[in-house]
Amino acid sequence: MNPRFPLRALALAASLLCGTGAFAQSRAVEATHFTLDLSSIESDTSDSTSSGTLGGGLGVVFPLGNYLGASLGGQYFDSSVRTRDVLGDSSDGGSRPSCGFKTLTGAASLFWRRPTLGKIGVTYGTGDLKSSCDGDAIFPLSGDNKASTKSYRAAGEYYLGDFTFGAAYVTTSLEQGDDLKSTTLSASWYPFESLKVTLSGNDLYSNNSYGLMLEHQPEMLGDGVSVRLGFSTSEDSPKTTTIEIGLAYFFGRQVPLKTRDRQYR
């Protein structure tokens, strides 16, 4: 037997062990991760307009080497917007005309992440919106009951113990219209590895809104399902209040919510 063989084998084993440790610390996405998401959103404004939305989506996040990750996803939403009849109050026999909207969106993201440090990435999204209202209804910019959008998003997160600080800038291009630009700042806290509390603020052309989101992976459901409850309100008139209830099912490895957010999502 070659006397150098045991030494080489030992060196190779040490290299693999060290490499595995470094790999676990630096890999942007530990394993391909699928999410099925369902949500219900209800909004009310101070001018007696309300809306309800039901929707869901499917997304996948996958590694691109040690430091890069990517994601693909699609969502579908069915919304109904109800407004008070300008000809009379509903208590006097007036009606509340409504409009229905069906939205189909898709997005692709590329990001860099270190699980012990943070994450930065960019996202491209596209969407199609179709209206179905009482009477004839068209989008003024397109002259049709259909409209399309494109969006570009740059975002970053910084991990500090049980806290995550985030910032995002989004530009949305409307079909034959002006761009909408918004900035969002957020801070999340994990009092437990299975519970996340997020405070956020959004600025859309000086129309500020603030939100609170709770997400929890119930122990009785294992680490494969999360439920969330969100509340947000706008600062300017007409004031809008929004409540969201959501449910997410995760395919693959069952890990705590904090680990999922920083190594899989």
Beta bridge partners of 74: 58, 106
Q: Is 170 helix (H, G, I), strand (E, B) or coil?
A: strand
pLDDT above 50 for 5: no
Rg (CA), the chain: 23
pLDDT of residue 36: 97
The CATH number covering residue 71 comes to 2.40.128.130
pLDDT of residue 190: 98
Mean pLDDT, residues 204-233: 90
- Whether 3 is covered by a domain: the verdict is no
- Whether 2 is covered by a domain: the verdict is no
Please tell me the pTM assigned to this model. Answer: 0.79
- Whether 21 is covered by a domain: the verdict is no
pLDDT above 60 for 92: no
pLDDT above 60 for 16: no
pLDDT above 80 for 144: no
- Whether 241 is covered by a domain: the verdict is yes
pLDDT above 50 for 103: yes
pLDDT above 80 for 202: yes
Both tokens of 51, joined, read: 């809306």
Q: How many domains does the chain have?
A: 1
Expressed as residue numbers, the domain containing 223 is 29-263
> pLDDT over 90 for what percent of the chain?
57
Mean pLDDT, residues 216-241: 89
Ramachandran assignment for 86, one of left (phi > 0), alpha (psi -120 to 50 degrees), beta (any other): alpha
Instruction: Grade residue 101 by pLDDT with cuts at 50, 70 and 90.
Output: confident
- Whether 10 is covered by a domain: the verdict is no
Both tokens of 5, joined, read: 């063989």
Q: Which residues of 159-195 are buried (b: 16+ CB within 10 A; e: fewer)?
A: beeeebebebebebebeeeeeeebebebebebeeebb
- Whether 231 is covered by a domain: the verdict is yes
Give the tens place of pLDDT for each residue, 171-197.
998 876 678 899 999 999 999 999 999
What sign does the dihedral 7-12-15-21 (CA atoms) show?
Answer: negative
Helix (H) or strand (E) holding 144: none
Residue bearing the bigger pLDDT, 56 or 80: 56
Most confident of 17-31, 90-104, 193-207: 193-207
